[in-house]
Amino acid sequence: MFGFLRPCRHHLGPELHGLWSAHLCGLCLTLRDEAGQLARTTTHVDALVVSVLAEAQGVVDGRRAGPCPLRGMRSAGVVTGDGARLAASTALLLAADRVADHVDDGDGPFASRPAAAVGGRVATRWARAGSATAAGVGFDPAALLAVPARQREAEGAVTTLTRVTAPTEAAVGAALAHTAVLAERPDNVGPLDEAGRLLGRLAHLLDAVADRSADGLAGRWNPLEATGTSSRDALARCREAVAGIGTALRQVALDPGDARRLTHQLLVHESGRAVARVEQGLLVPARGSEPPLAPWDPARPPGADPGADPGADPEPDEVPGPDEADPSGPRRVGPQRGLLAGCAAAAGLCCTGQLCCADEFPDPWTGQPRQGRCTDCVDCSSCSWDCCDCCSECGDGDCCCSCDCGS
């Protein structure tokens, strides 16, 4: 259900992407400190909104974190404090709810009894850790803990779509509203609760639309099928939710600065892009759109056409001479290696996380720079970081981009 916000570095820009990374790493480390290493797998951008909102209201702390494989073995400044702890408790409780739901349904890896037993213990541990962390920042986790039971109750009766999404709405609304409590800004509680409810509704509906076909094939319960709601109507409600989030956010008093801009970018613009992605995904089978570009394929020679046959010989006029260099081609940053040495280097990159999560890493065989698989916006042809367009879309003078036009 969660993880639908996917900010692209080309939309955020250098300043906001740096702040986003600081919050992401801070959330990951807080999860480790509160619930152990395995809990770091619950890190996702949707929960990160809580930490960013807290900083935008003046609740922020930070420290210098040591080298991490997921940062390409680089140290970095990270955001910590009560905002990060509240975000961690939200991530843990939502993850516990989802794992417990999969265990109850016997979905995927939890279909076998041993895996279900392990999953149940993990969900229980995360729920306890999330509750303890929530208590440490004065947050009542009752709304989050009640999501599974309320969800099963809604699924077991003839219901409406509003009733189905209500548990998630209440949980996310409570989490976002508590950032105002931490900041001692009571006037922000109501608008943030409204924004959180709409964000929870958006997450639930997007998940239902995206999974509708798979749920039908697997015989799983889907809220759209159960309530007779078309995907078009659900997406219309999603667009209304995005508009409502923007309206609610304009009533929230936030401190000027990058945290305010990042909050606006995540809650308004990235929510809108999430709806567009799901809507486009429904149209892809009919239109037969081209597949996305792959960031790295070790079987493809450097500079080769991704759509070309990897086994075909290159054209003679495309093969440079031994002394020729392509000035427009990728620069070489390391030595070329043979098969075994390249495999060893690839294993090292994989074990340190650079193969996946570094912004750029040297190809283990050629030494040329490659883009990490988890870097945002692999195919940047659809990115349009236009400041003035961004400002005009906001309509409230709260420009999220690095410019001053219209603000």
pLDDT in tens, 101-147: 788 777 777 888 888 899 899 999 999 999 999 999 999 998 888 88
- Sorted by sequence, the CB contacts under 8 Å of residue 348 that are 6+ apart come out as 364
pLDDT in tens, 43-52: 888 889 999 9
289 residue type, one letter: S
Burial of residue 10, with CB atoms counted within 10 A of its CB: 0-12 exposed, 13-18 middle, 19 or more buried: middle
**pLDDT per position in the chain (407 positions), as tens?**
457 888 877 778 889 989 999 999 999 999 999 999 989 988 888 889 999 999 999 998 999 998 887 777 788 899 999 999 999 999 999 888 888 878 877 777 788 888 889 989 999 999 999 999 999 999 999 888 888 788 778 777 767 888 889 999 999 999 999 999 999 999 999 999 999 999 999 999 999 999 898 888 888 888 999 899 999 999 999 999 999 999 999 999 999 999 999 999 999 999 999 999 999 888 755 444 444 444 444 444 444 554 555 455 544 444 444 444 444 444 444 556 666 776 777 776 665 555 555 556 677 777 776 755 555 454 443 444 344 344 444 544 455 554 433 33
Q: Cβ atoms within 10 A of the Cβ of 331, count?
A: 9
Task: Report the 10 Å Cβ neighbour count for 364.
Answer: 21
* Domains of the chain, CATH where assigned: 12-284 (1.10.600.10), 346-377 (no CATH)
Q: What is the pTM of this model?
A: 0.73
